[in-house]
Amino acid sequence: MTLETASDGSILVRDRFVFLRAGLLVASALFLGMAATQRLYALDQVRAVWASLVLALGCAALAAVIEDSVFQFDAVRREVRWSKRRLFGGRAGSIPFAEVENLVVEVRSSRSDSGMSRTDDCRVFLVARSLTIPLGSSNLDLSRARDAVAIPLLGLLGKSSQALVEDSIRYWVSRNDRITARALAVSALHLDSEAAAKLIEEMALKRSR
């Protein structure tokens, strides 16, 4: 994911996978060629042919679902123009700054096979009146998602970033996604699991009142 700031203060956010998609399509073609060769010259190796076909289809399917994202936060027109494209088809739209409610951070945590280490992958979501949409598919570390992406964009939108983490936790609690809320509390606030669960419960109770 890249951010570019224009002279007028506009910010362009790009998250593209051009080389990855091209590599997957090339790999798919190579596996198809391999399957054809095996079919012609090794008729007794049916399993090898099917394995090559499965790999070719897998690469092609992955290339088809990978999504490129472009978000233009226009400081002059005071709107967000966005597009998301895949190998086949896409979608696009525009959102006035006035309809953007917030930007929130999502954290997805995973542990190693040994359970000794934890990996946190983050994304930034734009929350508007009409939809909630991720700015991209790239997995970012927390500091980049918060400091390099969310905070500059919130500044352009005229919104405070002081309670970014807490607001993000509240948002995921409101969406009944306590797993994401807990992961964010543990990663960003450095709470243990018990303290994170207590914080989330308190937020849920305040929301229900």
Question: Comparing C-alpha atoms, which of 73, 86, 81, 90 is closest to residue 17?
Answer: 86
- Please state the pTM of the whole predicted model: 0.83
The pLDDT score that the predictor gives to residue 72 is 96
Which residue do the tokens 């500044």 mark?
A: 155
pLDDT tens for each residue of 103-114: 999 988 777 666
79-85 and 90-96 beta bridge pairing: antiparallel
Section 183-208 average pLDDT: 88
Extents of the domains making up the chain? 18-65, 80-208
The pLDDT score that the predictor gives to residue 204 is 86
Whether the predicted pLDDT of 38 surpasses 80: no
For residue 137, the 8-state DSSP code is S
Compute the mean pLDDT over every residue in the chain, rounded to the nearest whole number: 88
pLDDT tens for each residue of 40-65: 666 556 677 778 888 889 999 999 98
Question: Comparing C-alpha atoms, which of 30, 90, 35, 36 is closest to residue 60?
Answer: 30
CA pair distance 71, 81, nearest whole angstrom: 6
The pLDDT score that the predictor gives to residue 5 is 92
